[in-house]
Amino acid sequence: MSERPDLNRILAIGLTHAMTSVSIGVTGDASSGGVLHDMNYAAGAGLDDTVRTLIQQGANIEARDNDEWTPLFAAAHGGHDQVVRTLIQQGANIEARDNDGWTPLFTAAQYGHDQVVRTLIEHGANVEAHDDGGWTPLFHAAVYGRDEVGRTLLNAGAQVDHRGVRSWTALIETSYWGYDSFARILIDRNATVNYQATDGLTALMVAAKNGHVLVVGLLLERGAAVDRTVIKTQLYEDWTALMFAASGGHDVVVSILLDMGASVNIGHLDKTALTLAIKYENPLCVRQLLRAGASISPDDLKMAFELSVGELAVIREKGTALASIALSLLPVGLLILLAVEPWSTKNHELFSAATRSQAVEILRLGYLLADTSLFEGESRAILDTWRDNIMPLALER
């Protein structure tokens, strides 16, 4: 088998040929014709020797393409540190801006090219530059989870709690996308865990909304307020992280939040986590919330009735007996209708932990009563009566 050809060598030969056939004698402004294309292509491909040759032949290192990128942008985007150094040594503008207000540092940060980021900073790149959306390079690293770049920018003085678009911080951004390791880096640098943006959202809320289990766990471990509510927005007014998780069907996150003491019945205008779990038909979340003591409102019950009509139709089409369907397989509407019935062994698992514990104790009393000499020979009937008639009266949701 023949050896794989050297791709960089082939590209260099092709570019050299292009230079001789287009405009070798270009001087001063090389913003038109083939030289700019060759320059940006060579820089983006990491062909340092070709870049040096083009510069010697008069290519303009500040020439712009349609996106306002200079060759330094192309080199930074590709992560080609040596080309970046060559262009800087030749006087390339390290703070040049493109159509979005980015500098080369932004593109290197976004694509995770840590060594290029270090080189740009070493030569004076501004780590606190803002693009047209108010983001800094740290935000671009946060959105893509570029851990090493994040550390480098923070070590160079990037502000950990800078506020960008929607007044979000880098911690909120990286929590939204689910990068727990980047979130940990920010928190270790004293990022404000409970900062609430102007849209009312916190890092915990956006992590819960998108079901990012590891980020949710980290934020709670580091002191995130589990019952903080959204403020100043009509869309999510008074929502908690639990409500966001329930609306998205993120049952693992719901479980974590409940274990950490999230209040199950916080809500606004009769909208609670349970309401949202019913609305978006998330049966696992419904079961968890009911077991945590969620109250069933009239609106919840109305939704459940409406859903149950379609659910029952599907069950009938399949020829399945409703009584034979396991609790864990019941859809949302039928779950709620079962949960509002008086306590029974069928819906026992849909009551709160306190009620379930109480049920066990009362059932033990029933066994003791049935075993007394007063009911000799009738213990089975007494126990059935106790369980089916007395216990439902004694136990409330």
pLDDT in tens, 160-174: 999 987 799 999 999
**118-122, 131-135, 147-151, 316-320 — which is least confidently predicted?**
316-320
Confidence check: pLDDT of 249 > 90: yes
pLDDT for position 24: 36
pLDDT for position 324: 83
Instruction: Report the predicted TM-score, pTM, of the whole model to 2 decimal places.
Output: 0.84
What's the average model confidence in pLDDT over 342-360? 92
Residue 232: which pLDDT band, with cuts at 50, 70 and 90?
A: low
Confidence check: pLDDT of 8 > 80: no
pLDDT for position 37: 63
What's the average model confidence in pLDDT over 269-273? 82
Confidence check: pLDDT of 336 > 80: yes
Confidence check: pLDDT of 137 > 90: yes
pLDDT for position 378: 84
What's the average model confidence in pLDDT over 50-72? 91
Confidence check: pLDDT of 379 > 90: no
Confidence check: pLDDT of 187 > 50: yes
Q: Which domains does the chain have, with CATH numbers?
A: 1-159 (1.25.40.20), 341-397 (no CATH)
pLDDT for position 326: 86
Helix axes 213-221, 170-177, angle to 10 degrees: 140
User: Burial of 282 by CB count in 10 Å (0-12 exposed, 13-18 middle, 19+ buried)?
Assistant: buried
pLDDT for position 133: 87
Confidence check: pLDDT of 12 > 60: no
User: Each residue of 290-314: pLDDT tens digit?
Assistant: 999 999 999 999 999 999 999 999 9
Confidence check: pLDDT of 40 > 70: yes
Confidence check: pLDDT of 32 > 60: no
Give the residues across from 268 on adjacent strands: 271
What's the average model confidence in pLDDT over 322-351? 91
Residue 22 neighbours by CB distance under 10 Å: 13
pLDDT for position 233: 64
pLDDT for position 33: 43
What's the average model confidence in pLDDT over 94-102? 95
